[in-house]
Amino acid sequence: MVDARYAQWRAPHKNDSLTGEGWRRGKCLTGFCHCERGFYGIDCSIPLRPTASLDQAVNPLVYIYELPPWLNVWRLQTMEARNAYEQPWSGIYAAETKLLSRLLKSRYRTMDPEKADFFYVPAYPIAARGIGGQDVDHLQRVKKYIAETWPFWDRHKGGRHLWMLAGDPGACHLVGGRNQTPWLANSIFLTHWGYMGNEFGHAGCFRRGQDIVVPPVIDWTKYDHAARHDASGAEVALSEEWRSQWVWPNATAAPRTTILFFSGSAGQNPGCEHPVPHRCDAYSLGVRQAVLRYHENTTGFNIRGDRRKVGSKEYMAFMRSSVFCLVAPGAGWAVRSYHAVLHGCIPVFIPDNIAPALDEVIPWNQLSVTVAKEDIPKLDQILNDISKERIREMQEGLACAWPRMHMGSFYGAYADEDVRHDMFDSVMQVLRNRMSSGEQGSPLVDGSWRGVTSTCKARGFHSDRKK
């Protein structure tokens, strides 16, 4: 029975359907799954009498913990009601719900925890404190529950357990990062922010080779206002107008005449007249502020801070006409790296102590530029010294890598890419590589990181830069 105080809450989806394939076998009422006889689970897909055919001969096999609603789905409802910007089902912070939905109906899911290589914990930590942090007390309650209910946490000392931390600061808000939460020492964080430094009180946020940086869900409805949703409100179909302007379906887009583009907040808000670290010196680790200070008027650069930010259509048009796009942190991870890749703009990562997404699959050193924070004053010299041949190589690499930035197996193809080689597949590939090596794998230098799409063979990228 569901507690009466939750009776006014609606299910965490627009049509009260269940996550994954469960809509065929049950309904979600007031945040609780009511399954048909013979089935149970978060998506009503687990039969009470399992058969051998449930588990495929693939790896890795991932077991998804079944948690009571007060430890996960009810939290999503409070988050959904609190702020539309933080919607758990859409927008750039929806990676946990989308990743879980994809995992639930994937061949990598096992119903037998004894066969599992990894264990996914659907705790939704972002739902408690929103995009700005994680709720450590909630994670401890979830850990206590799974440790008391199953033997696998203690058996692996918390290792092989996957936690999605989708908020801006990733693990940095776990009370000093992992350094002060020893019970999470062996767990694997799936996060959007691979920060490995210790500035402004951040420390122990990300461990390379243990944690995994995953791309966010790109909400194209923010930019393509004519995009269509399916009946559930979950999946998006781009409008024909937007597809015709999007760079990968049209690899011979307009010439790229701008050297470096950036538009976004740079700590110039009125609140910075007061000691508000989130919006002042600590914001962006000081990177956006420094780039704006040194290069707002640099020839060939289009750097726009708070006072000159542009709307979504101009923003995307500038990306399509720029050779390089600045990728600097904000209050944490930066969505601009994914926008840049999807528009053929070479990412310039600053600072140099942040791991990019899926760096155990994608050879970012071949596709991007990384600059140390102290080298910002000479950023123009660094970029102007890159040859046209090197630029062409990076652009052609991005034309192959972009499908891995998108969860095509959930949303469907943007162009003609094979959606089996998407973000979700890449995460599984990282885990599979670690199973065979026992440690962080190297980028896939054999070329298998390349997406299966005609743009991977495309030529005709334009750059009017002189070298």
pLDDT confidence band for 459 (50 / 70 / 90): very low
Task: Provide the Cα torsion 174, 202, 284, 343; round to 10°.
Answer: -60
Q: What is the pLDDT of residue 450?
A: 80
- 148 neighbors 112 (Cβ within 8 angstroms): no
Distances (CA, A) of 345 to 241, 251, 287, 325, 390: 21, 12, 19, 6, 14
Is the pLDDT at 203 greater than 90, yes or no?
A: no
Pairing of strands 258-263, 322-327: parallel
Rounded to an integer, the average pLDDT of 414-425 is 83
Q: How far is CA 102 from the centre of its chain?
A: 14
pLDDT in tens, 314-355: 888 899 899 999 999 988 888 888 889 988 899 999 999 999
Q: What is the mean pLDDT of residues 127-134?
A: 59
d(CA 278, CA 263): 18
Residue 163 — φ and ψ, nearest 5°? -120, 130
248-293 pLDDT per residue, tens: 655 555 689 999 999 988 876 555 544 444 456 778 889 999 999 9
Distance from C-alpha of 156 to C-alpha of 461, rounded to nearest angstrom? 49
Find all residues with CB under 8 Å of 176, minimum gap 6, and list them.
Answer: 203, 204
Cα separations in angstroms, 225 against 87, 197, 313, 455: 17, 38, 10, 25
pLDDT band (50, 70, 90) for residue 133: low
pLDDT at 137: 83
Tell me what pLDDT residue 467 has. 42
Would you list the DSSP string of 277-342?
GGGSTTGGGGHHHHHHHHHTT-TTEEEE-GGG---HHHHHHHHHTEEEEEE--SSS--THHHHHHH
**What separation in angstroms does the CA of 231 have from each of 16, 153, 236, 399?**
12, 39, 10, 32
What is the percentage of the chain residues whose pLDDT exceeds 90?
A: 34
Percentage, residues of the chain above pLDDT 70: 70
Most confident of 90-94, 122-126, 201-205: 122-126
**Helices and strands: H and E segment counts in the chain:** 13, 18
Q: Residue 128: its pLDDT value, please?
A: 59
Question: Between these two residues, 87 and 171, which has the higher pLDDT value?
Answer: 171
The encoded tokens of residue 362 equal: 């994608």
Is the pLDDT assigned to residue 18 strictly greater than 50?
A: no
Whether residue 160 is predicted with pLDDT greater than 80 in this model: the reply is: yes
Q: Under a CB-based contact definition with an 8 Å cutoff, are residues 362 and 213 in contact?
A: no
- Residue 214: its pLDDT value, please? 95
364-381: average pLDDT: 96
Tokens coding 111: 């119903």
pLDDT at 189: 93
pLDDT for 8: 30
Q: Mean pLDDT across the chain, nearest whole number?
A: 78
Domains and CATH numbers, the chain: 4-213 (no CATH), 220-457 (3.40.50)
pLDDT band at 157 (very low <50, low <70, confident <90, very high): very high
The 10 Å Cβ neighbour count of residue 22 is 23
Q: Write out pLDDT tens, residues 41-54.
A: 777 777 777 654 45
The pLDDT assigned to 234 comes to 47
Residue 358 confidence (pLDDT) above 60: yes
